[in-house]
Amino acid sequence: MLDLSRVLAGPWCTQNLADMGAEVIKIERPGLGDDTRAWGPPWLRSADGGNARDSTYFAAANRGKKSVTLDISRLEGQEIIRELAAISDVLVENYKIGDLKRYGLDYESLRAVNPGLVYCSITGYGQTGPSAHKPGYDFVFQAIGGLMSITGEQDAQGGGAQKVGVAIADLMTGMYASVAILAALNHRSVSGQGQHIDMALLDCIVALGGNQVTGYFATGKAPGRYGNAHASLVPYQVFRTADDDIVVAVGNDTQWQRCCRALERPDLAADPRWAAVTGRVTGRAQLVPELEATMSTRSALDWIARLEAQGIPCGRINDYAQVFEDPQVQHRGLRVDQRRPDGAIVSNIASPLRLAGTPPTQDKAPPLLGDAVDEVLGSLLGRSSQEIAQYRDRGIV
């Protein structure tokens, strides 16, 4: 797999596939590399405890890859990309529309040297349409794609639009791109033909709207912000206890009855207004204050124990330090520590994919800049050590 992407959406996609066993050759700018290598602090820690060259942001999306520095604006660099594309199954890129065509590295050009190539382009707005030429970042797409209109506290409570705490448009585009690539490879196994995949951050963030969007289609009414409450379920929100906040998520009417037992509120359980979810949703303004008053009488741990004893999904609101102290998180092995050739330890999030027969491999740390130039150009493309040295002298690699 040839990875000509940078920052997050493309690298997230190629890291997913690297975890599943793909050989990923990451092409980076000589001397600089992926933009995110410099997106610190925080930085990776070097073997002596100081700051390493690369940021933790870069490490989050680039494990399992081989780094090749290459100036693709030079004819020699373009020729190397064509040679690599000719022997690759997949190419992923996120250049602005038309940039790679100027270098003869667009899909149609590379299809001529490898008809089976699966070529995935990732852009903000897609390859076609009136906005296709515009640049854009995750934050912009969270705004224009509708997600911020349903994220944040209710306006009546002094809230306003709020972005998600991670670059969700990038991450979801990377996930969708991974699925698209696997589908294209499956099709190639039948047809022998590759294809061009056109992935857009705008498309993916709109698709993430899910039931909120289908509700709008059905009613003509755009959904608003509910803060930590749920548009279709009550109680399904944050409650303040005597000492801390917890989340309570009642998903059906049977759970509601069990919740009332945990709260020792038989009066609420017997009230016909609250017996069905529709009544609890339409009457939330009357019901929720009753629940809030009860929840404030005991500690968070006490309520969690009582609710869990009745099978009610609930939990405290963890920061990430607390997340990785959780026994279940530790049991699932969601932290992976990797050692780089320079001795630095890179701590990363393990792949959540759990395949019994072909589990992910996560034994290769995010690469040092240009760490695989000699291997790839020498072993794969047959360049001599003298030729590679000349490339270095001329700034091509």
Residues with active-site annotation:
170
Q: How far apart are CA 49 and CA 342, in angstroms?
A: 12
User: What are residue 245's DSSP bridge partners?
Assistant: 240
Phi, psi angle pair for 3, to nearest 5°: -110, 105
Q: Is the distance from CB of 55 to CB of 41 less than 8 angstroms? A: yes
Nearest alpha carbon to residue 178 among 34, 347, 59, 21: 21
Q: Which helix (H) or strand (E) holds 138?
A: helix 138-144
The residue behind tokens 């793909």 is 22
Q: Is the distance from CB of 372 to CB of 43 less than 8 angstroms? A: no
CA separation, residue 346 to residues 213, 220, 371 (Å) = 40, 49, 16
Q: Supply 376's token pair.
A: 């790839």
Query: Pairing mode, if any, of strands 345-349 and 2-4?
Result: unpaired
Nearest alpha carbon to residue 100 among 116, 124, 77, 118: 77
Provide the H-helix boundaries in 2-137.
Answer: 9-19, 56-60, 75-86, 99-102, 107-111
Name the residue type at position 274.
W
**Opening angle at CA 130, ends 117 and 143, nearest 5:** 95
Q: How many CB atoms lie within 10 A of CB 334?
A: 16
Q: DSSP letters of 190-244?
A: HHS--EEEEEEHHHHHHHTTHHHHHHHHHHS------TTS-SS-SSEEEEE-SSS
